[in-house]
A and B are shown apart, each in its own frame.
Chain A
Amino acid sequence: MTGAAVTGAPPSRIAVVGASAAGLCVVEALRRQGYGGPLTLIGEETHLPYDRPPLSKQVLSGAWDTGRLRLRGADDIEALGLRLRLGSPAIALDTQDREVALADGSLVGYDALVVATGTRARRLPGTDGVRGVHVLRTLEDAVALREDLAGKPHLVVVGGGFVGAEAAAVARGLGCEVTLVTDTAQPMGDALGDELGAMLRAVHAEHGVRIETGTLVDRVLTAGGRATGVRLADDRTIDAEAVLVGIGALPNTEWLTGSGVPVGNGVTCDVTLYAGSGVWAAGDVASWPHPLTGERIRVEHRTNAAEQGLAVARNVLAGPEQARPFETVPYVWSDQYDLRIQIWGRTRGADEVRIVEGSPAERKLIALYGKDGRVCAAVGVNMMRALRDYRSQVAEAAPFTARSAA
């Protein structure tokens, strides 16, 4: 029997692939919980772990320089005693021999492996290498977009999700002309529903963003290798010097092809975030069944990456037999102009929405979202502390009654 197979005996070598929010949280929690063995952290990016939410906020606006993104100082990382392998992505996994192959040709052996490779921005076909076309996922992406925005171009934002809406707000603040194109009825409409979506749309319009809803961008128009505009599905064209494509993210799982690790929409884990044969997953890349509903979910939120990192560290040390289910109330926030939007739970699929405090007119409110008669989410706009009191209703899936006030 190998060490890892003995129930209760911790694995003797651990490797974590992906050196961002989730990966960092895993290695820190392992050390905090007393794991002193070999611990390798493998990252494609050359940077020490840094934070992404500010990329579309303080970094894009220029309020922060990129140094402030660091999640930990170099000495804190040093103190963890890691085998740090930055700048060389994992390209293949052998779950039989328990080895990860890196792009530089080296192999890293492990007993337990954590996949924390996150997601990457989806792109529009045919835009690779076209100047003026941007995505926003990495530090380099943010710096490149910021440099382009300094010339005050007309910016077209493709997609009305969080990242696109935040970037549109920042670009207006920098004095750019901005058009936002989304296939939904409202910007952020699929996350927030009609009433809050309409409020957000009004806020963007007041700040001078032109909004095209209910339409797809067909393709980016180019001349001489540079973006000149976009063509919409209804054949209209919009001139632009810069285009930000914010149409969602794809899980980074290609390197697991042929390894036997189950992959669908992300790494397919069980309720404990275990994917079998010594492999666990955490963060944007992990999909797992909701312990209550059984519905398979994958969450792209900053706090989920940290919470799953903690849970996986605990479960890796306990072993698959003793592993505990991961439980969470998902949380995400978004900053647009002077609005801070916060969401506890999952709004998607809600069949009822009720504003329980404040109002859209005040730009300050709390709304509860219900599904099948139960509270499934609570959304706050500029009511940071008050919203926290509604979290328990989401956690318990409390009955959605006429007055579900806290």
Chain B
Amino acid sequence: MQISIDFDKCCGAGQCVLAAPDVFDQRDEDGIVVLLDDNPPADQAENVAQAAAVCPAAVIQVKQ
């Protein structure tokens, strides 16, 4: 799985971190998403799909 992010559109909601804490974090200063792992193991697929679905700015793209 390959994750890409449109960082410019991220609004720092942190929903992605709640859904997949092993894959996403947020910067301290402005809350913008930090991608901890752009090619996470298959057991993260469900969490990552959830993160992409709830991200209110629709900035998380997942390619299998």
Chain A residues engaging chain B, CB cutoff 8 angstroms: 25, 28-29, 32, 51, 53, 68, 71-72, 302-303, 306-307, 309-310, 331, 333, 335, 340, 342, 384-388, 391
**Does chain A have a CB within 8 A of B49?**
yes
Within residues 1 to 59 of chain B, which ones have a CB less than 8 A from any CB in chain A? 9, 11-15, 17-18, 26-28, 30-31, 49-50, 53-58
Instruction: Decide yes or no: A32 and B13 within 8 Å by CB, A307-B54, A384-B31, A388-B26 being known contacts.
Output: no
Q: Give CA–CA (A317, B22) in the complex, Å.
A: 29
Closest to B56 in A: A302
> Across the interface, do A72 and B31 meet the contact criterion of CB distance under 8 Å?
no
> Across the interface, do B15 and A303 meet the contact criterion of CB distance under 8 Å?
yes
> Across the interface, do B58 and A385 meet the contact criterion of CB distance under 8 Å?
no
Contact of A51 among B14, B31, B53, B57 (CB under 8 A): B57
> Across the interface, do A385 and B14 meet the contact criterion of CB distance under 8 Å?
yes
Closest to A305 in B: B56
Query: Could you tell me the distance in whole angstroms from the C-beta of A390 to the nearest C-beta in chain B?
Result: 11
Q: Give CA–CA (A21, B15) in the complex, Å.
A: 15
Question: Interface on chain B toward A: helix, strand, loop, or mixed SS?
Answer: loop
Closest to A49 in B: B58
Give the number of chain B interface residues (Cβ < 8 Å). Answer: 21
Q: Give CA–CA (A371, B54) in the complex, Å.
A: 28
> Across the interface, do A340 and B12 meet the contact criterion of CB distance under 8 Å?
yes
Given contacts A53-B57, A310-B50, 6 further A-B contacts (CB under 8 A): A68-B9, A302-B56, A303-B15, A384-B12, A384-B14, A385-B28
Give every chain B residue within 8 A of A53 (Cβ-Cβ). 11, 56-57
Contact of A306 among B26, B27, B28, B54 (CB under 8 A): B54
Chain B CB within 10 A, most for which of A25, A302, A340: A302
Question: Interface on chain A toward B: helix, strand, loop, or mixed SS?
Answer: helix
Chain B residues engaging chain A, CB cutoff 8 angstroms: 9, 11-15, 17-18, 26-28, 30-31, 49-50, 53-58
Instruction: Decide yes or no: A28 and B53 within 8 Å by CB, A385-B27, A388-B14 being known contacts.
Output: yes
> Across the interface, do A51 and B17 meet the contact criterion of CB distance under 8 Å?
no
Closest to B27 in A: A385
Query: Could you tell me the distance in whole angstroms from the C-beta of A364 to the nearest C-beta in chain B?
Result: 11
> Across the interface, do B17 and A388 meet the contact criterion of CB distance under 8 Å?
yes
Q: Give CA–CA (A157, B41) in the complex, Å.
A: 50
Give every chain B residue within 8 A of A71 (Cβ-Cβ). 58
Closest to B58 in A: A71
Query: Could you tell me the distance in whole angstroms from the C-beta of B47 to the nearest C-beta in chain A?
Result: 13
Query: Could you tell me the distance in whole angstroms from the C-beta of B43 to the nearest C-beta in chain A?
Result: 16
Closest to A76 in B: B61
Closest to A329 in B: B18
Chain B CB within 10 A, most for which of A71, A335, A385, A386: A385
Query: Could you tell me the distance in whole angstroms from the C-beta of A181 to the nearest C-beta in chain B?
Result: 28
Give every chain A residue within 8 A of B17 (Cβ-Cβ). 388
Contact of A333 among B11, B28, B53 (CB under 8 A): B11
Closest to B11 in A: A333
Instruction: Decide yes or no: A29 and B11 within 8 Å by CB, A384-B30, A384-B31 being known contacts.
Output: no
Q: Give CA–CA (A388, B15) in the complex, Å.
A: 9
Closest to B12 in A: A384
Give every chain B residue within 8 A of A333 (Cβ-Cβ). 11-13
Query: Could you tell me the distance in whole angstroms from the C-beta of B32 to the nearest C-beta in chain A?
Result: 8
